[in-house]
């Protein structure tokens, strides 16, 4: 099934952990590009200095964070990479989960198959052709969504994809400015799906 608003309308840390193992889908030119989510991070505006909407800071950029749970939030970072998030918690609570890594499953360009080709928010967006045109979409339906099974995109399940996996938590990446929030263990890795925390 496709994850619906009720899935995202929950505690952000819980959603970040629960997204692991599910399948990110972006339909491009009629073909679903699919990867299995193996790394995420939680951002919580009301108390998290690493969140763009810390202290309910509302600007043109952060506007999607205040929208309905299940909305996409895509922004440009360092002038050349995009980052994909899904908005969580009820409307007006600016929170989101950053999708940091997936392992390739379907219809990805050849250069994105193999180890360490889709681990990292910038690489992942490149592989899935995700840019600002994907910002502020309803991500509970095509072209951009997350589903629980490969059967949901009409593909056969992969042997081993139904096996349990272990989750590791650790501090988030690239937020040295965020003072005490640096240490929050809000990064989640599915170790057996290719994720790594050092």
Partner DNA sequence: CTTCAGATGCTCT
Partner DNA sequence: GAGCATCTGAAGA
3-state secondary structure the chain: CECCHHHHCCCHHHHHHHHCCCEEEEEECCEEEEEEEEEEEEEECCCCCCCCCHHHCCCCCCHHHHCCCCEEEEEEECCCEEEEEEECCCCCCCEEEEEEEEEEEECCCHHHCCCCCCECHHHHHHHCCCCHHHCCCECEECCEEEECCHHHHCCCCCCCCCCCCCEEEECCCCCHHHHHHHHCCCEEEEHHHCCCCC
Among 28, 67, 173, 191, binds DNA (CB under 7 A): 173
Provide the mask over 85-104, with x wherever binding to DNA is found by CB under 7 A and - wherever it is not: x----------x-x------
Provide, rounded to whole angstroms, the least separation between the CB of residue 9 and DNA: 18
Among 77, 92, 113, 149, binds DNA (CB under 7 A): 77
Among 35, 69, 104, 121, binds DNA (CB under 7 A): 121
Contact window for DNA (CB under 7 A) among 13-21, 47-55, 144-152, 157-165: 47-55
Regarding 123 and contact with DNA (CB under 7 A), the answer is: yes
Contact window for DNA (CB under 7 A) among 8-16, 141-149, 156-164, 172-180: 172-180
Among 174, 179, 182, 185, binds DNA (CB under 7 A): 174
Contact window for DNA (CB under 7 A) among 7-15, 19-27, 139-147, 169-177: 169-177
């Amino acid at each position: 099934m496709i994850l619906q608003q009720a899935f995202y309308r929950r505690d952000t840390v819980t959603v970040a952990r629960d997204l692991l193992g599910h399948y990110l889908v972006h339909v491009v030119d009629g073909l679903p590009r699919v990867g299995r989510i193996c790394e995420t991070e939680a951002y919580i505006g009301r108390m998290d200095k690493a969140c763009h909407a810390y202290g309910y800071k509302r600007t043109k950029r952060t506007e999607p964070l205040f929208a309905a749970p299940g909305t996409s939030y895509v922004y440009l970072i360092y002038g050349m990479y995009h980052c994909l998030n899904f908005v969580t918690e009820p409307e007006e609570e600016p929170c989101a989960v950053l999708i940091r890594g997936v392992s390739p499953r379907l219809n990805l360009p050849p250069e994105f198959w193999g180890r360490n080709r889709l681990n990292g928010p910038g690489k992942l967006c490149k592989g899935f052709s995700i840019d600002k045109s994907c910002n502020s979409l309803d991500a509970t339906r095509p072209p951009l969504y997350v589903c629980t099974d490969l059967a949901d995109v009409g593909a056969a399940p992969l042997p081993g994809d139904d096996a349990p996996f272990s989750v590791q938590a650790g501090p988030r990446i690239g937020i040295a400015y965020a003072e005490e929030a640096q240490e929050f263990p809000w990064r989640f890795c599915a170790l057996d799906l290719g994720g790594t925390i050092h």
